[in-house]
Each structure stands twice: as structure tokens, then as C-alpha cells.
Amino acid sequence: MPKVVTFEINRHRQYNMIRKNLCANLIKHEYIQTTASKARKAKPYIEKFLNQVIKETKQINSDPTLSQLPINQKLHKLGALSFLQPLDRSEIGTKILSQFGSRYINRSNGFIRVLRLEPRLSEDKSPMSVIELVDSEYEFKLWYTGKIVARLELQGLPLDDLTKLNVDKLVELRPNGEEKFREVVEKCKSEFYKVNENGEVENVDLKDKLENLPDLEAHGGKLQGKLLISKKFNTKPRTNNQSASIPKSPFLK
């Protein structure tokens, strides 16, 4: 049976305010946990705002005369701040000018990420998600992949193809990416697995959980290096076509 969509036509929906407030609070707190529909709808507007603002901050920082101005005058140069509510502009503008210029030196777009979560345990059971700023210190994907790498190193297994790809993505455009990621892995070992100074796990429950091994064929087995190749069918890589010489037409002279 098809779902009957019912909504009031004359009701004022505060979508525009939701976008503005989510955008302001995301930059303030680095990540936000909201419902999936809000995150999905606000995502392009936040992305557009950050794209414009960071482009303008890079112009200000590169220009020798503009970079020496005080912060109050710099904020007037950021035209994209007019998207936000007037009370938020000064607080968030200063944070963008001080931090975001140096954080996103190599990156031109793709500043936010949306992660899917399980539905919340309230009465409505609405599906949730997290919006987070990319290349920040408080990034869920960074710490999650750090935890994966820490677990595999404690088990003594080589990295999976998919984790390798995720690590490369995280490290690629972050300033001092590889050093930062190494710090995260060491922190994850001490924080989530309670590793000793000698590099051993003492807790009994965590030791039992580490014995649950993943599929070993993906970790240095048959499936290593076959991320995008079909596992179901025995496919072969396509051969390069030999360059055929077309004979000359007799009508041409």
C-alpha cells in the first residue's frame, strides 16, 4: 500500500533557520549529532558557505596589506558571513580567520562529512547521523580508523585494503597528516585497549575480544589487493587492444 503523504500547506517551516543554526553550531563544536533528514537537507548549504568563506580567508591571508588589519576590519571583508545570523557572525568569523586558513591549505572543497548512525532509543526511533568537519582533531572517522589500525597491530595482522584506502584519504590533505595519524593510533591503544608500557593488553575481557579475528583472506591472503574486483565471479583484467592500421581508401588522393 502506498504511503499517503500529509502536510499542512500554510504552515511556516523554519528550514532556513535550521540551516543557519546548524552551520553556526557545527563550526563552534566541530561535530553535531542530529536526525538524518536535517543533516541531509543542511549539508549542501553548509558546504557552500564553507567553500565561500575559506576562499575569502585564503585571499586575506595571502594579501600583504589585508593580513595586517585588525580582526574587526577583517570580518567586514568576509562577505559570506551574511548567511549566518547577526549574533553568531563575530564569534564564528574569528574562529574561521584564526584556524581554518591554516587547516585547509591543500583542500578546496569537501569540508564536511555525514556519518550514518543507528536510530535513537526514543519513542519516535528516528534515524540519526553525525555531521563533522573534515581534517579536525575531533573527527569521528579519524579516531575510528585509528582504533581499527590499533586493533590490527595488536593482533599482528597486516592492513586491509579498505582501511588502507581510508587511511590514505585521511592523511592526504591534512597538514602533517602521517605524524598526526601515528599519534592517534598510539593514543587509541592506550585509551581503548588499555595497553601497558611494554605494549601488552592486561585486561582479560579486552584480551578475549582481540581473539575474534577477521577474515584472514583479506588480510594478506587471496583477497589482498582485490578491492574493486568481483569476488563472486572469476573475472580477468581486460587485455589492451592492439592498434590496428586502417588501410587507405582508394578514393582519396
Partner 1 sequence: MSLVYRFGLISQTIQEAVWGIPRIPQISITLPKKLQELKEKLFQEDISIDNGSILRAVPKKKLSHRRHRVKQYAAGRKQIQQLENLVRCPACGSVKRSHFMCMNCFDEIKTFLKGLKRANGLIKDTVIRPMENFANPRDETIIYPGKFTKPEERQLKAKEYIPKREEPIMFQKGKMLHNKKRDRLEKAGIYK
Can you give the binding site for partner 1, defined by CB under 8 A?
1, 31, 115-118, 121-122, 130, 137-138, 140, 143-144, 147-148, 151-152, 160, 163, 191-192, 209-210, 212, 214-215
- Where helices occur in 84-139 by DSSP H, the ranges are 89-95, 101-103
User: Of the two residues 76 and 95, which places its CB atom closer to partner 1 in the complex?
Assistant: 95
Classify residue 54 as exposed, middle or buried by CB count within 10 Å of its CB (0-12, 13-18, 19+). buried
User: Of the two residues 137 and 179, which places its CB atom closer to partner 1 in the complex?
Assistant: 137
Contact (Cβ atoms closer than 8 angstroms) between residue 78 and residue 102: no
DSSP state, residue 195: B
In angstroms, the CA 222 to CA 97 distance is 49
Quickly tell me which residue has 500547506 as its cell. Answer: 9
Closest approach, Cβ 145 to partner 1, in A, equals: 8
User: Of the two residues 1 and 228, which places its CB atom closer to partner 1 in the complex?
Assistant: 1
User: Of the two residues 117 and 171, which places its CB atom closer to partner 1 in the complex?
Assistant: 117
User: Of the two residues 95 and 226, which places its CB atom closer to partner 1 in the complex?
Assistant: 95
At 103, the amino acid letter reads: R
DSSP state, residue 124: S
Residue 214: partners with Cβ closer than 8 Å, 6 or more residues away: 157, 160
User: Of the two residues 213 and 244, which places its CB atom closer to partner 1 in the complex?
Assistant: 213
In angstroms, the CA 90 to CA 76 distance is 10
- Where helices occur in 63-192 by DSSP H, the ranges are 71-77, 89-95, 101-103, 140-155, 161-172, 177-192
